[in-house]
Amino acid sequence: MALFKTRRNSSGQESVAINISEKGGIRYLHLGSETVQSAMKIADPTELVLPYTRCMMAFMLFNDRPERVVVLGLGGASLPKFMYRHLPDTIIENVELHPEVAAVARSVFMLPDDPTRLPIHIGCGGAYIANQKDHADIIMVDGFGSHKLADNLCSDEFYRNAREALTANGILMVNLWRSSPQFQMLVERIGAIFEQRLLVLPDYRHGNTIILAFKQDQHNPGKASLRELAETLEEHVGLPFPELLERMIEENPQSPTQLLI
């Protein structure tokens, strides 16, 4: 069921077609195609419905109390709403190119109106990051159009700027499609700029792979302490952190006792 659709914004700039559908108590956002960009459980708007969004929260295994998170690509605001609920001391900045997408996030996907903790900047995510330094503990890159990651969010220049925009122990989180022809090239590009301090975390169900890139060495954290933290986080926020951690351990360099990053 199409609840809302637009192709041109009021200023006449190139816009995006927005469609919203509902099925089985879930509301879906589609931008320019039938591909699902966001999903919201109508009875619980802050629940993370899509598996890849749960993977995007894996940064909490390395920083469970960030002061500032920047989200590039708002969509239906699944991640900002979840963090707004579970990280009450965190500022969650959002950068969205299309003002109509931000309007739909507020009006249809129940993003709270809180300019202090949930500011929305309308404009290019790459340009926003280029103007920041030591700004955010976490940067989340989830800026897909209808078919691929936005070009301005996957260049060498963007990743270099993102590293500069991170605080000293910051983490860049990038959502990629594993089937994309760009996938291996982008992993190598991120690895080169972040001096190979990265982890991959695949979502086995839908083909997304999340890249965690660290601004500085993590000193090879011990598996036992990570597993203990994962269990604590699962209890507190309701996400399957132990499962996510085991997936990380399986997919990335390790020793018998440590995750090597």
**Residue 219's CATH number:** 3.40.50.150
User: Which tokens sit at 226?
Assistant: 């990570």
User: Which tokens sit at 179?
Assistant: 């089937």
Does residue 224 belong to any structural domain of this protein? yes
Checking if the pLDDT of 2 tops 90, the result is no
Catalytic residue among 113, 134, 137, 142: 142
Does residue 8 belong to any structural domain of this protein? no
> What residue numbers bound the domain in which 88 lies?
45-251
Does residue 34 belong to any structural domain of this protein? no
Does residue 90 belong to any structural domain of this protein? yes
The predicted model gives 146-151 an average pLDDT of 64
For 75-110, what is each residue's pLDDT tens digit?
999 999 999 999 999 999 999 999 999 999 999 999
Does residue 15 belong to any structural domain of this protein? no
Checking if the pLDDT of 5 tops 90, the result is no
User: Which tokens sit at 234?
Assistant: 């699962």
pLDDT at 148: 61
pLDDT at 14: 61
**Phi/psi at 236 (5° precision):** -85, -35
Does residue 104 belong to any structural domain of this protein? yes
The predicted model gives 247-254 an average pLDDT of 96
Least confident of 10-14, 148-152, 226-230, 257-261: 10-14
Partner residues linked to 36 by β-bridges: 30
Helices 241-251 & 223-237 angle (0-180, nearest 10): 150
6: exposed, middle or buried (Cβ count in 10 Å: 0-12, 13-18, 19+): middle
For 205-228, what is each residue's pLDDT tens digit?
778 999 999 999 999 999 999 999
For 15-51, what is each residue's pLDDT tens digit?
778 999 999 999 999 987 788 889 999 999 999 999 9
pLDDT at 260: 94
Buried b (16+ CB within 10 A) or exposed e, 13-46: eebbebbbeeeeebbbbbbbeeebbbbbeeeebb
pLDDT above 70 covers what percent of the chain?
93
pLDDT at 77: 97
Check: pTM over 0.85? Answer yes or no: yes
Does residue 11 belong to any structural domain of this protein? no
Does residue 65 belong to any structural domain of this protein? yes
Checking if the pLDDT of 3 tops 70, the result is no
pLDDT at 35: 83
| Count of structural domains, the chain | 1
pLDDT at 1: 45
pLDDT at 73: 93
pLDDT at 6: 47
Annotation says 64 is catalytic = no
- Over the chain, what is the mean pLDDT? 92
Which is nearest to 147 in space by CA: 28, 31, 13, 15?
A: 31
